[in-house]
Amino acid sequence: MRDLRSAIPAVRVSCRFRCTEATVGEGPSRVGSLVADHLARHRSAILRRWLRKVSRHLRLRQRNRNAAVGLINQLPLLFDELRAVLTGSPAADCITGEALHDARLHARERWRQGFALDELYLELDLLQRCIQASLRAYFASGLSREGQTEIHECVEEFFSAAIRDAIAQFQTQQDRRVNDALRDRDRALAAQQRSEERLRMAADAAGLGIFEWDPTTDTAVWENDRMYEITGQPREHGPLSADAFLSAVESPEEAEHLRTLLADRPSVEVHAAAGFKKIQSGQHCVVEISGRFMPDSSGQRQVLVGILSDITRRAEAENALREADRRKDAFLATLAHELRNPLAPILNAAYLMRHSVGSPSQRSWLQGLIERHAKHLAHLLDDLLDLARVAAGKVRLKKEVFDVRRAVESAIEMTAPAALERGHRLEVHGMTGAPLLVSGDATRIAQVVSNLLDNAVKYTREGGHIQVSVERTPRHVSIAVQDDGMGMDPAIIPSMFEMFEQAPEASQGEKKGLGIGLSVARSLIAMHGGTITASSEGPGRGSRFTIELPLCNGASDLPQEDALREVTAPISRRVLVVDDNHDAAASLALILRGNEVRVAGTGAQALQIAAEFRPEIVFMDLGLPDMSGLDVAAQMANQAGASAPILVALTGYGQPEDRARTRAAGFDHHFVKPAPIEELLRIVENPHSE
């Protein structure tokens, strides 16, 4: 801010020069000193006159009065400055600095309080007039008129210089404020641009499109390229209007819902998802719109500012989860149904046998009924265990090189009784000729083929036709199971191999099985390096399942005929059965009749009996009420020393880690309940056989 220091000294020099020319011989300071003394004596009157004029012209409000008081307090210094200019005394240089400093403070204070430049100019102009009037009165008194013109001109130049300096100071300050405002604006714009750029980068990284839509003109501004990628709109064609966008929404209901959000609720947030057909390719996708209506840059209209995202993958994953949840619920319902079905005849047969109802042939039939349905329950549990093992990736194949026909024959033997019961005609082709060698687990291959045959029996009407064929191709062996049953809709065939998926209901039937067989079969065949496929010409036209396995050129590990065993008399053995389930323990003891059998229901009881009885074979449940069967086995082995018994674990757990624990505890065999009776009898007959 330019101050008065550069302006008023020039006035002082000019005034001194003119006073010297007018009063030759008297000294320039004498007239100025007399005038300065006059102004000092009449200072109070000048101030009152000035204050009345200021009040009349500016109509001072309260804040103006405060500023006027500040000016009044500074007037003595202004008078001292003017007197120093008039007298030209050496002390003027000392007085000038303080007076000009206070004058600048006065100007700043006035501007800070909201006064404009013209108000400050008026105040100084009125003060000048009051001083000039007092000087005219002084010279009109007749005491002396020496230097009158020069004195008036000197005062006028003094105030002119002060006003010019104030104007320059005001202009400088205004320029500084404008420059500061421009710099602040530039910084704000730069910060806004950086923020918008970061937003665009974040949106691009997240795959979000940014848009702004004006409902008044139905025009849009797309802020990034992602909008064009999501919608499939060519960039050279520009953004889509709302109508054009809604016309590409696949569902009329979703389009109408979105149109309602845009038209009827402009003051709330907009959030919707819809299926969308991309503009150029027609590809299906699912988009999600999120936005909010807010004022535009003019503040006159509401525009929608929002983001658009492609959520196709998320929507597909959610649909897959819902479908998996649906299949799981259907599986649980089917599992409950399948488990209850065999329980009814078993309980009925048990009731009849308990009351000794019927002839010996009927009781024999009841025993066979119980056995069939118990095996069915065991088969269901085996399927569940296979499901758990496959899902956890814990299936271990016992690989060997074998003739695949051996597995097919085994599967047919397992399924033939059910097919015979329903009157099915079973044809088998390709079971002769050179061996068809494959490398894998013969038991698992037989399980898969048996599962396919079992499905064919279930979904083929009574008296239907089932055909099994084995064929050789250059590199593979093909096993096909074909029926003329209920068939399948070709559209659902890919999902038939998914977990818990079943064939749709027949027109006059119901679903059978747990819906896990095909999923397990696909996993097992894949572990052998093969494939399993399905085909059907439609409902009611039968189905065909085909397995392809790679042929093996290695040496055959085909089984040889068993040597004739020497017939020997059965040996009675000491057997201890340990199980807290009394029915299971008692029934197994009855099966082992002919041997010396003891039964224990707890671990402590088993140890006590073993110490006295010294069993040769121990069938032990692992989940005993007082201690683990693993601990009982360890203590029993310590008791017996070198004559430790053969330990056979009977448990509901059959995972590889469960078998590893029993093996580490010293068990010789591990069976999952319900254990095959023939295997248990074989162990009793020959305890040391593998």
Task: For 461, list phi and psi in degrees, rounded to 5.
Answer: -60, 160
Identify the pLDDT of residue 655: 76
For residue 141, pLDDT over 90 is answered with no
**Domains of the chain with bracketed CATH:** 4-178 (1.10.490), 207-310 (3.30.450.20), 317-390 (1.10.287.130), 397-550 (3.30.565.10), 574-685 (3.40.50.2300)
pLDDT score of 89: 53
Average pLDDT, integer, range 396-400: 81
pLDDT of residue 410: 86
pLDDT at 169 > cutoff 80: no
Query: Would the pLDDT of 231 be above 50?
Result: yes
Residue whose entry in the numeric block shows the structure tokens 């279930």:
458
Contacts of the segment 426-431: beta carbons below 8 A, 24+ positions apart:
426/466, 426/467, 426/468, 427/465, 427/466, 427/467, 427/468, 428/467, 428/468, 428/469, 429/467, 429/468, 429/469, 429/470, 430/469, 430/470, 430/471, 430/472, 431/405, 431/470
- Strand-pair category, 284-295 with 302-310: antiparallel
pLDDT at 295 > cutoff 90:
no
Q: Which residue has the higher pLDDT, 13 or 63?
A: 63
H or E segment and range at residue 68? helix 62-87
Q: What is the pLDDT of residues 60-111, one digit of tens each?
A: 444 455 555 555 555 556 667 777 777 775 444 444 455 445 555 555 555 4
- Place 370 in a pLDDT band, splitting at 50, 70 and 90: confident
Residue 7: which pLDDT band, with cuts at 50, 70 and 90? very low
Per-residue pLDDT at 112 exceeds 80: no
Q: Which residues are 577's β-sheet partners?
A: 599, 619
Select from 525, 499, 529 the least CA-distant residue to 384: 499
Q: Give the model's pLDDT for residue 12.
A: 40
**Residue (of 96, 115, 101) closest to 57 by Cα position:** 115
- Whether the predicted pLDDT of 509 surpasses 70: no
Q: What is the pLDDT of residues 590-638, one digit of tens each?
A: 888 888 999 998 999 999 998 888 899 999 998 888 888 899 988 888 8
Model confidence at 470, pLDDT cuts 50, 70, 90, reads: very high
Secondary structure (DSSP) of 468-484: EEEEE-SSEEEEEEEE-
Q: Which pLDDT tens digit goes with each residue over 114-136?
A: 556 667 677 778 888 888 888 88
The whole-number pLDDT of residue 333 equals 67
Neighbours of 387 (CB within 10 A): 19
Higher pLDDT, 9 or 258: 258
Asked whether 97 and 84 are in contact (CB, 8 A), the reply is no
Q: What is the pLDDT of residue 304?
A: 87
Q: 460-485 burial string, b = 16+ CB within 10 Å, else e?
A: bbeebebbbbbeeeeebbbbbbbbbb
| pLDDT beyond 50 at 23 | no
β-pairing, 596-600 vs 574-578, is parallel
Per-residue confidence band for 174, with pLDDT thresholds at 50, 70 and 90: confident
Helices (H), 576-623: 582-591, 603-613
What band does 32 get if pLDDT is binned at 50, 70 and 90? confident
- For 52, phi and psi rounded to 5 degrees? -65, -40
Kindly provide the residue ranges of all beta strands, DSSP E only, lying in 331-423, ordered along the sequence: 400-403
**pLDDT value for 578:** 92
What's the mean pLDDT in 537-552? 90
Per-residue pLDDT, 550: 92
- Above 60 in pLDDT, residue 1? no
Length of the chain counted residue by residue: 690
- The candidate with the shortest Cα–Cα distance to 400, out of 510, 617, 554, 539, is 554
- Contact between 479 and 453 under an 8 Å Cβ cutoff? The reply is no
pLDDT score recorded for residue 332: 72
Residue with tokens 């396919």: 452
Do residues 509 and 425 make contact, with C-beta atoms less than 8 angstroms apart? Answer: no
Task: Provide Rg for the chain, Cα atoms.
Answer: 55
Cis amide leading into 674 (omega within 30): yes
Strands 465-472 and 476-483, sheet pairing: antiparallel
**pLDDT tens-digit series, residues 52-61:** 777 777 654 4
Q: Give the list of residues 6+ apart from residue 439 with CB closer than 8 angstroms, or none.
A: 399, 400, 401, 528, 550, 552, 554
pLDDT tens digits for range 515-531: 567 877 888 888 888 99
Q: Strands 302-310 and 400-403: what pairing? A: unpaired
Task: Inform me whether the pLDDT recorded for 548 exceeds 90.
Answer: yes
